Amino acid sequence: MGYCKFCEKAPVETWFGSFCSDCRKIKNLGNVYGFERTLSILTKCCIRDEDQLERKIMSHKKLPTIPEETDESYEKPKTRKSK
């Protein structure tokens, strides 16, 4: 048998098929909802633009501040004894 014509990694479902099972699901979504709508959903959800990338980078650069003083009333969580 051959490989999927879409992902080019997985073997095809049937002897005369062109797509693997996962790519067949993607193709069926395109057939049901329309390929333009499916593409716009994938673009909006999976691809980040420059502004989104900058905000993500800045959020990772901001390190959380840890207070220097700790509360003495804090108790460590009790764990189960291993058998």
Hey, is 51 helix, strand or coil?
A: helix
Q: Is residue 68 part of a domain?
A: no
Q: Is residue 65 part of a domain?
A: no
User: d(Cα 53, Cα 2) in Å, to the nearest integer?
Assistant: 38
Domain count, the chain: 1
Query: Helix 21-33 vs helix 35-46: angle between axes, to the nearest 10 degrees?
Result: 110
Q: Is residue 3 part of a domain?
A: yes
20-56 pLDDT, tens digit per residue, is 999 999 999 999 999 999 999 888 888 888 888 888 8
Q: Is residue 33 part of a domain?
A: yes
Which residues constitute the domain of residue 32? 1-60
Q: Is residue 55 part of a domain?
A: yes
Count Cβ atoms below 10 Å from residue 52 Cβ, excluding itself. 10
Q: Is residue 9 part of a domain?
A: yes
Look up residue 39 and give its DSSP letter: H
Query: pLDDT higher for 25 or 15?
Result: 25
Q: Is residue 80 part of a domain?
A: no
60-77 pLDDT, tens digit per residue, is 777 666 666 666 777 777
List all residues 6 or more positions away from 23 whose beta carbon is below 8 Å from its beta carbon: 4, 6, 7, 10
